[in-house]
Structure 1
């Protein structure tokens, strides 16, 4: 088989595996006690963290 065909088959296989794993992950139930986890952003020093940014925005919207 030519190298291009092998590379294409590997790429298609990896994309297919990724799609399947994402769908399987969505079907997995959330463990008990993990439904409403809040990030502990006081200990994290990453100022550009997207989770921290979204958490602070939601606190401002709620007025806390």
Structure 2
């Protein structure tokens, strides 16, 4: 599972999808729930972006 989550296509999907949801949530959901959703999705997007920046997915997955 770790090798799947650290692959570049999955990281790009997580980064872009969560970024879009984080930007749209305050407009779609009212009040504190929209803000909390935006913050949570933003954190996930930031984590995926950092994984991309670190070079996630560049190494071959080692199967044991």
TM-score (norm 2): 0.42
Q: Which has the larger radius of gyration?
A: 1
